[in-house]
Structure 1
Amino acid sequence: MHPNDIEILRRATREAATFLARFIPSRVDEHKRRAFVVCFEQLLTSRFEHHWYPDHPSRGQAYRCIRLNPSNNKEPLIETAVIVAGLTYNDIQLPLELTVWIDPDNVTYRFGEDDGSHCTLISFDRQLAANKTMAPAPLRPYSNKQKPRMHAVDCREGHKFCFITQHGIGVVPSSILLPPQLIFHRIFPVFLLPS
């Protein structure tokens, strides 16, 4: 994937995550709200990375759709981000019916079903040309193909590592250094969240 496409993917997922975070009531701790945004953005980026087609933006659109309705009351990616952020699914007061499309040319949403209002959060068509010289940034979360380093994980001050394994979600505070075998064993995405 071209570095510009990666950056647009990240910007699109950040926009979608920030939009959904608006449904978290103001009484919820700001740190938890930011943790939700970071985690959900990284989950979306990881999920969509191999389903991102800038030359054919509508291709894979159903896969990149976040849909909430009475028959699909809990979206798994939202639920994961909520748990990692230390919230409950009920803390986010999501509308009963909401669809968010995260595409290479824009991020749009609709309240309600077929006759609902359809709005654009952000459009990338003009920004594509302007971003031709953007430098690539390192991808997060780590892909399953990356080999772990053979030294202790660098836990920076004020951060915690969050990870998802086949057994559930784990959080490692920055004060603990664990060998990479423990952290990288059977891990799907790994997240570095601000405190």
Structure 2
Amino acid sequence: MVLQQKSFGQLNVELIHQLVSESKSEHSRQDQAKNKQAIAAANEEVNRSQMGKLKMKYRELQQRFHTVGLAIDAAQIGLEASPVVSEIIRQQNIIYQLANDNPILIALAFQTVKDLADRARMLANYIAGLALSIGDINQMKASDRKILFSHALTELRLIEGASKGLAVVMLQASYKRSIDPFADFVNQDRQLVDDIIRNAAILKNP
């Protein structure tokens, strides 16, 4: 009888330890699940905030290029400049959609779009100045007019190149679906990233 009581008591202790251990494990799993949910919710909130900022800059850039388009028509350089503007807008649409589909890319897109919007504002002002002075400009020598208009076209092509390069890099990164989209880029991919950085530097310091 005493032996049975001891055995029963020992089993009870072991059972209690097992139940406590299982309870701790379950509590730990619940904590981990809650932490993951909290992190996911925080990430979603950050992504929404960043995407909201990108959306605002995207709209600003669209408005700037609408102004650029009007100024181009007034300055009578639409034949050469309009296709470039159309391509810039097309690439920006691609960039925005890629960032919307893959939040990892938002930060990369935001800074470049911000720089391009600033550049577009200065370009619109320059072309508007040409348009306002078109009567005087038409009196200039053809070579001098070409210099003025070539500057505007060069600026547009720089912006086009930066937009197209960024869209290509983001597209490749989106396909790879990596946490760090540039972590396993081959040399050609890294060259594209370097080109984007160089284009951004050119845009800031012409």
* TM-score of the alignment, normalized to the shorter chain, above 0.5: no
Q: TM-score, normalised by structure 1?
A: 0.30
Q: TM-score, normalised by structure 2?
A: 0.29
More helix by share: 2
